Structure 1
Amino acid sequence: MQQAKPEIKLKLKHAQKPNGFSLDIDISLPSHGVSAIFGASGSGKTSLLRCIAGLEKADHGHIQLNETIWQSSQSGIFVPPYKRAIGYIFQEASLFTHLTAGDNLQYAIKRAAKFGGQPKNNIDYKALISLMGIEPILNQYPAQLSGGERQRVAMARALLSQPQLLLMDEPLAALDYERKREILPYLERIRDDYKIPIIYVSHAIDEVARLADHLVVLDQGRVTHQGKLADVLGQIEPPLALGEDVGIVLHARLRMRDLDWHLVELAFDGGALWTADDGDRLNAKIRLRILARDVSLTKQASAKTTSILNSLPAKITAIVPDQHKAFALVQLKVGNSVILARVTAKSAALLDLKLGDNVWANVKSVSIIR
């Protein structure tokens, strides 16, 4: 008998009274990496997470993690939240205020032991507090910690519950810009060091682009786009919720360092880009984000008199009007990769841009987001 494909199955119909909002979702997510649920406020992201966690019971639905069914309306199954092997991280770090950071972590360990019937990931306590950089604050109470420190403790506590699935509901939304920059590397470490699937809810595309492998876009309780992150972001008709932030993600490798000019060359499947040297090691894997508004097009390679260092040979695979009539969105094939460019409709006409044209995509080094 063929073994079922490991995945997270979510099939839900759920109406919320009295506001009349409803979820109508039928998707399968990979049971590895980070799956981002993206959309504007009120699109149903948190409601979906609450149904997965069992905090809300969907009117009709089927929720399954690999072989484990948590809800099946057809079979009359509903597993209560405390029996679901889930770690839940909220917008606000919901720590017990009367316990120190260390005691909050011990609570999670005791809870995991109490419900010993759940499968375990055997996450090591000492390795985790080292990974999260929280050893110096274990004896402090939540009120003594910064917002970023509280959130790191909350993440560690969720992991020490030995979950089979992590749910993250806008974990950076309550933090300022500097605290977000502090926390993002820790989220990347959790993603890379622990093979626990993560469902990450956010309305911030910069977080999604940096962390996610798979992307689901919600609008008014319905799925409008889903698939691999790079595929969804590279579509010629991207999600409306992206607005001015339409752009693509590239996976690159640090190939060369220019010590004289403090630059690095990042090779991707289609070419290479020069950008600022942030101290990463040679051959490091780096995720890049390039916004469509930061890509210009020329019919010839940029002359040496321009300040733009990156000029990539490309072929136009699609052109469509943008949300504003003044602009056009151009999809480009660069090797095996896709790049989007947002140009004025006037520029597209003056250059006589057509499907299949060979052009040069020009990207300023200072505009590349890492």
Structure 2
Amino acid sequence: MSGAPEAKLARLAAPESGDQSAGKAAEGAAHARPGGAVSVAPGDGGGGAAEAQALLLLGAGACAGAAAAAAAGARESQRALEAVDACQRELEALNERASEEILRVERRYGQLRRPHLERRNQLIEDIPGFWVTAFLNHPQLSALIDENDEEAFNYMMRLEVEEFEDIKSGYRIKFNFSENPYFENNLIIKEFHLGTGGKPVSQSTPIKWKKGMDLTVLNKGVDEKGRKRGHRSFFTWFTEHRNPTTDEIAEVLKDDMWPNPLQYFLIAESESGENGLDDSDEENGDDSVVIVDEDEEDEDDDDDVQEIVDEDEDEEDGSEDDEDEVEEIDDGEEVEEEGVEVEGEEGKAREGGDG
């Protein structure tokens, strides 16, 4: 009888120990580390609710750690972007200073170039057909010039590109012509500058065409055989102002033709005089110019030498023959002299016999 109550007391004590272990598990979960790890003592037992609560606390800790890492990465990227932006602003400030210095240098050397350019223009005016030749030899400009334009460009005397005091604000291209049958203008200008709103614009001198000589109208018609012309007149460029920023003709004139027009004028001469012959000589077949290969010259020289040697040998042979003839002649003379003497002796003998 005494053992039974003790057993019951023992069984009642078991749940009490379970509650204590569950409390310990909950207490351990409550003291979980910030990184989300939860320490559970080995051998401790617990109910399902305590385990679920521990798992929830574990997930919450993991999410909090990831969010903290993302926030730290975002702050680092922001700091890097701010540093790059600051560096870019410093570069832009240096570029602005460089642009200002470049403009000052360009302005200074523009003034130094001016007297040389003026002298070059004066010298070019003494060369007939300089500008029309240079334009026709240029690969881009020549495509815009037809026969009628070429006749007009024969009267062109000068080309000038004049930059404004503020180089960035614009420039003008000036064409000077002598008296001609096409238009009354001696000076035609096309100018490029910034408009009131800061947008590039262009404007030109109106061409005062003489009656019936407007090349922009003539080139839009047909030729003598009734065929449409292949391209427009170069002079239509003076009337086009739609998009100055893409004006290729202006860029070619300013940056290519104007800095060194002599290179395009000399193209024709270099091609025609490449072998030291003019085109007219080649076409007419001038007999006064004979090209002989070196081998042929050497052979001719050998023949001449051989002929000279042969002539020398002939002269030597002839001289030997002459000597032989002389000797023969001398022998004959001696014989004749001897014959005379013999005859004299014979005559004396005959006279003695007769006596």
Q: Shorter-chain TM-score: which interval?
A: under 0.3
More helix by share: 2
TM-score with structure 2 setting the length: 0.21
Q: Which has the larger radius of gyration?
A: 2
